[in-house]
């Protein structure tokens, strides 16, 4: 067993942390909460100049040829810095599926423009029935001449309002099992019939309602095979769940640090409040949560990086991350008192994201059920 | 990064499994690490066999009869032993886990030559108890009063100790005494090895609320001990104690037995019916078992991470505390959830024919109370984490 990152990965962590500390301060995150697009194009360009968008893309497609673990390093720092914008949706929700299931032609068409930072992608999955399971995919895509016609509503689509392409998980057939008959389409976001509304969510990360009204998608924009999308989408769900966990632990670590800093600084009764045991123990519990989160999440990330089966490990990690990040934020509010609930202070930014993250890519009950099945129940 | 075990490590696991299947009765489900609820003759029979295989002290340095195993291998080994519930590995409380290693760190060559081999070989003379706590000195251990007064070539010991696990089987006591009455608190303390067969020693059982005998009081009435039995410097005992406490860094985070219990609960749920439906299909049961699985995995990996960093020579001062707190508290949650799944049968002791999981959860419940305050209370552990892990100020 070797539970450390490589030297290059540690260098990447150091460099990306320094970059984000400088380029993505709290003030920027707060400003982006209010800006319509929700992200700063200047920072996006700097990131693409660093090769971040192409980090896990093969060199043949303009990428750097890094591993999923390399991406994990970046994502953790982004979670720590609360990086606003469509990096996650473009790279994790867009590029990884195309890399997994795309034809050579599709890879050539899309990946280089992702690597260069020119194009923004996202994934439209959840529907009003809010299910993470195959049966929850009901938005139909009906064949018509050389196209398919998509009709329906998708919710919680990240950054759809600025995306160039929307990967849409649709139902093209009804087989023996709900997993049969799911197809993923790469949809031009400017297609006639697409209406995008930004949903008014608690966290600043933009999530959109996307309505498809007779939206035509050419056949060659089917990702993978017709009716067989779920086979590889399950893998994508694992990747995105772990990527989300990684962002979460980055944020959780920062909240833990912030709480300890405050406990050392805030004086009452003639001493820092961190000298009082209840407050000190609350911080200790945060450290325990973060330490435990790291390795259980990295295990899942490593398995994904190696292409090994990981369904159970992914779900174990997501449940821990879901519960731990939220617990850490809740207790952080207790230590911070009044200052922690202001808009001006940054804790609230983490708190709403921790809650949103609990729901993304499988809530705890969804993943517990996967674990139960993996246990043989 | 690589989460896999080596083939050698997997082979060791298999060897332990074979030992368990050969030596333990077929329906064995018991996690009695000290041997307090197991027939003592059986405990010593196994200790001897384990000693013969070199399995009692794999983690000791080779020059002292050990296997030279790394912290990491120690954890793998410990997890597997715990999974099968193999008794006899501790040599009292505990010759193998902390007394032997402390003698290796702080003892003279004569002491090492005398005391280490019986531990390694699983002999009755290798059974130890640890004499730390007193009625007035628990968490605040530095105020111990048991006095060792120098008299010629001996120390004469007077006082009492309480909560000594396995003292009634121990040949030797690893005793914390006050050698200097005027130096305050920890400054006047020493560690001395006491022969439990010495005149003047009385061991009085403390029966716990399981009805079991693990704990004891020990009374010292003018007990003569050769001065050569002092370990480390006179009045330097606190360093020895602190060194000993740090040795069991990941003990609180052993998850082998939790993993076994989870498997047993899963099997139970699959076979049992409630209101006409298998328990395994009850969402509440599925949810509980999944949560148990999550916590076990978090603790398991945390322990491996700590052992791995130790093997690399990087030790974080809070690692042991983090592992202990999470390990002991998640264990308690596991038992609670397990009993919720087993229902009223949880109350049935092992001897009851209708007991489920051989009544193993009762012992686990009892030990879970001790887990949170024994070996350094979780309140103190959280203090350590706060002070040393986060730099929070002391009061």
DSSP A92-160: IIIIHHHHHH--HHHHHHHHHHHHTT---EEEE---TT---SGGG---BEEEETTEEEEEEEEEEEETG
Looking at residue B312, its pLDDT comes to: 84
pTM (2 d.p.): 0.92
CA atoms within 13 A on the CB side of B169: 26
Cβ-defined contact of B305 to A283 (cutoff 8 Å):
no
Mutate to test the interface with B, among A320, A362, A375 (most CBs of B within 10 A): A375
Measure the CA–CA gap between B101 and B307, rounded to whole angstroms.
17
The secondary structure of B142-164 as a DSSP string is GG---EEEEETTEEEEEEEEE--
How do residues A84-132 score in pLDDT, each as one tens digit?
999 999 999 999 999 999 999 999 999 999 999 999 999 999 999 888 8
Which A-chain residues 220-259 have CB contacts (< 8 A) with chain B?
256
Q: Are residues A111 and A150 in the same domain?
A: no
pLDDT in tens, A188-207: 999 999 999 999 998 889 99
Q: Among B1, B281, B383, whose Cβ lies nearest the Cβ of A3?
A: B1
pLDDT of residue A152 exceeding 90: yes
| C-alpha to C-alpha distance for B235 and B83, rounded to whole angstroms | 41
Chain B interface, best mutation among A257, A263, A284, A296, by max B CB count within 10 A: A284
Task: Kindly list the structural domains of chain B, giving each domain's residue range(s) and its CATH number in brackets, ordered by start.
Answer: 7-89 (no CATH), 128-237 (2.40.110.10), 249-390 (1.20.140.10)
Confidence of residue A150 (pLDDT cuts 50, 70, 90): very high
Q: Give the pLDDT score at B248.
A: 63
Given the residues B23, B217, B234, B248, the one annotated as active site: B248
| Tokens (6 digits) for A219 | 């056949």
Residue A11: the pLDDT is 98
Is the pLDDT score of B252 beyond 70? Answer: no
The verdict on residue A335 lying in a domain is: yes
Q: Same domain, yes or no, for A114 and A156?
A: no
Express each pLDDT in B256-274 by its tens digit: 999 999 999 999 999 999 8
B280, B284, B297, B318: best mutation site toward chain A, by most A Cβ within 10 Å?
Answer: B297
Q: Give CA angle at B173 (B169, B179), nearest 5°.
A: 155
CA distance B13 to chain A (A): 15
A312-356 residue pLDDT tens: 999 999 999 999 999 999 999 999 999 999 999 999 999 999 999
B75: pLDDT strictly greater than 70: yes
Max CA pair span of chain A:
78
* CB contact at 8 A, B300 and B308: no
Give the domain extent around A151. Answer: 122-227
Q: Which of B191, B295, B149, B86 is nearest to A288 (CA)?
A: B295
- Taking CA–CA distances from B302, the nearest residue in chain A reads A292
**Phi and psi angles of residue A210, each rounded to the nearest 5 degrees, phi first:** -120, 120
Give a yes or no: residue A293 inside a domain. Answer: yes
| Pair A134, A223 in one domain | yes
Nearest CA distance, B247 vs chain A (angstrom): 20
User: Where residue A192 sits, what CATH number does that domain have?
Assistant: 2.40.110.10
A-proximal residues of B, 250-309, CB under 8 Å = 262, 266, 269-270, 280-281, 285-287, 289-291, 293-294, 297-299, 301-302, 304-305, 308-309
B311 pLDDT exceeds 90?
Answer: no
Mean pLDDT in chain B? Answer: 94
A22 shares a domain with A153: no
Are residues A266 and A186 located together in one domain of the fold? no
Measured between CA atoms, the residue of chain A closest to residue B393 is A275
Asked whether the beta carbons of residue A376 and residue B266 sit closer than 8 angstroms, the reply is: yes
- Cα(B289)–Cα(B346) distance, integer angstroms: 16
Do A283 and B308 count as a contact with CB atoms less than 8 A apart? no
Residues A261-287: tens digit of each pLDDT: 999 999 999 999 999 999 999 999 999
- Report which DSSP code applies to B158: E
Residue B317 has pLDDT above 90, yes or no: no
Q: Is A239 helix (H, G, I), strand (E, B) or coil?
A: helix
* CATH number of residue A42's parent domain: 1.10.540.10
* Confidence at B251, pLDDT banded by 50, 70, 90: low
Do residues A211 and A258 share a domain? no
Distance, CA of A148 to CA of A215 (rounded, Å): 8
Looking at the fold, whether A208 and A255 belong to one and the same domain comes out as no
- Residues whose CB falls within 8 Å of the CB of residue A367, separated by 6 or more in sequence, listed in order: A241, A314, A315, A316, A318, A319, A322, B290
- Predicted ipTM? 0.89
Pair A340, A288 in one domain: yes
A139: closest CA of chain B, how far (Å): 28
Among residues of chain A, what percentage have pLDDT more than 70? 100
* Annotated catalytic residue B234: no
Give pLDDT, residue B71.
84
Q: For residue A342, which phi and psi values (nearest 5 degrees)? A: -80, 155
Does any domain span residue A1? no
Residue B158's CB is within 10 A of a number of other CB atoms, namely 16
Residue B202 bridge partners (DSSP): B219
């Amino acid at each position: 067993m070797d539970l450390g990152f490589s030297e290059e990965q540690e260098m990447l962590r150091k460099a990306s942390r320094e970059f984000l500390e400088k380029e993505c301060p709290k003030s920027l995150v707060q400003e982006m909460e209010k800006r319509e697009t929700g992200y700063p194009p200047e920072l996006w360009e700097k990131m693409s100049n660093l090769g971040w968008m192409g980090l896990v893309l093969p060199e043949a497609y303009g990428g750097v040829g890094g591993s999923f673990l390399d991406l994990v390093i970046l994502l953790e720092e982004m979670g720590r810095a609360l990086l606003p914008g469509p990096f996650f949706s473009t790279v994790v929700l867009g590029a990884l599926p195309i890399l997994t299931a795309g034809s050579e032609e599709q890879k050539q068409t899309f990946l280089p423009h992702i690597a260069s930072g020119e194009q923004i992608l996202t994934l439209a999955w959840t529907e009003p029935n809010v299910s993470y399971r195959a049966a929850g995919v009901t938005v139909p895509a009906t064949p018509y001449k050389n196209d398919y016609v998509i009709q329906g509503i998708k919710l919680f689509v990240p950054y759809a309002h600025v995306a160039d392409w929307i990967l849409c998980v649709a139902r093209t057939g009804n087989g023996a099992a709900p997993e049969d008959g799911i197809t993923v389409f790469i949809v031009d976001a400017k297609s006639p019939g697409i209406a995008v509304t930004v949903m008014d969510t608690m966290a600043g990360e933009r999530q959109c309602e996307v309505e498809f009204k007779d939206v035509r998608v050419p056949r060659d924009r089917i990702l993978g095979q017709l009716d067989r999308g779920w086979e590889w989408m399950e893998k994508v769900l694992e990747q995105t769940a772990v990527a989300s966990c990684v962002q979460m632990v980055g944020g959780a670590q920062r909240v833990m640090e912030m709480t300890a800093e405050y406990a050392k600084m805030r004086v009452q009764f003639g001493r820092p409040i961190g000298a009082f045991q209840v407050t000190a123990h609350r911080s200790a519990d945060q450290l325990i949560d973060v330490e435990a989160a790291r390795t259980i999440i990295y295990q899942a990330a490593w398995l994904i990086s190696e292409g090994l089966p990981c369904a159970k490990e992914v779900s174990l990690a997501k449940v821990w991350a879901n519960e731990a990040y939220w617990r850490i934020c809740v207790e952080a509010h207790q230590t911070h008192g009044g200052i922690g609930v202001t808009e001006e202070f940054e804790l609230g930014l983490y708190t709403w994201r921790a809650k949103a993250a609990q729901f993304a890519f499988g809530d705890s009950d969804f993943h517990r059920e996967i674990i139960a099945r993996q246990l043989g129940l | 990064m690589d989460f896999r075990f080596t083939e050698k490590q997997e082979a060791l696991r298999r060897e332990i499994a074979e030992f368990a299947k050969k030596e333990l009765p077929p329906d064995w489900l018991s996690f009695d690490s000290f041997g307090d609820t197991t027939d003592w003759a059986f405990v010593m029979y196994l200790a001897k066999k384990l000693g013969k295989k070199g399995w009692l002290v794999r983690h000791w340095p080779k020059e002292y009869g050990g296997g030279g195993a790394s912290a990491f291998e120690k954890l793998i080994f410990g997890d597997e032993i715990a999974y099968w519930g193999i008794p006899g590995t501790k040599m009292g409380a505990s010759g193998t886990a902390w007394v032997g290693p402390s003698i290796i760190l702080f003892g003279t060559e004569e002491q090492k030559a005398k005391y280490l081999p019986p531990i390694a070989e699983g002999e009755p003379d290798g059974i130890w108890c640890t004499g730390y706590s007193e009625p007035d000195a628990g968490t605040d251990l530095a105020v111990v009063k048991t006095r060792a007064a120098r008299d010629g070539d001996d120390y004469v010991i007077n006082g009492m100790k309480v909560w000594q696990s396995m003292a009634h089987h121990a040949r030797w006591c690893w005793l914390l005494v006050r050698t200097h009455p005027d130096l305050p608190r920890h400054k006047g303390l020493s560690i001395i090895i006491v022969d439990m067969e010495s005149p003047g020693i009385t061991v009085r059982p403390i029966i716990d609320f399981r009805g079991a005998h693990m704990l004891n009081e020990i009374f010292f009435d003018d007990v003569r001990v050769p001065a050569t039995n002092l370990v480390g410097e006179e009045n330097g005992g606190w360093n020895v104690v602190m060194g000993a406490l740090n040795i069991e860094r990941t003990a609180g985070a052993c998850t082998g037995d939790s993993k076994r219990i989870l498997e047993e609960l899963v099997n139970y749920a699959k076979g049992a019916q409630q209101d006409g439906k298998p328990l395994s299909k009850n969402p509440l049961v599925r949810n509980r078992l999944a949560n148990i699985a999550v916590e076990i995995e978090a603790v398991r990996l945390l322990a491996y991470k700590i052992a791995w960093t130790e093997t690399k020579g990087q030790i974080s001062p809070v690692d042991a505390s983090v592992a202990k707190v999470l390990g002991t508290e998640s264990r308690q949650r596991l038992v609670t959830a397990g009993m919720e799944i087993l229902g009223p049968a949880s109350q049935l002791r092992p001897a009851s024919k209708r007991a489920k999981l051989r009544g193993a959860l009762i012992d686990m419940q009892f030990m879970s109370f001790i887990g949170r305050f024994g070996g350094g209370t979780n309140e103190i552990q959280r203090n350590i984490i706060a002070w040393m892990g986060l730099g929070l100020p002391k009061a």
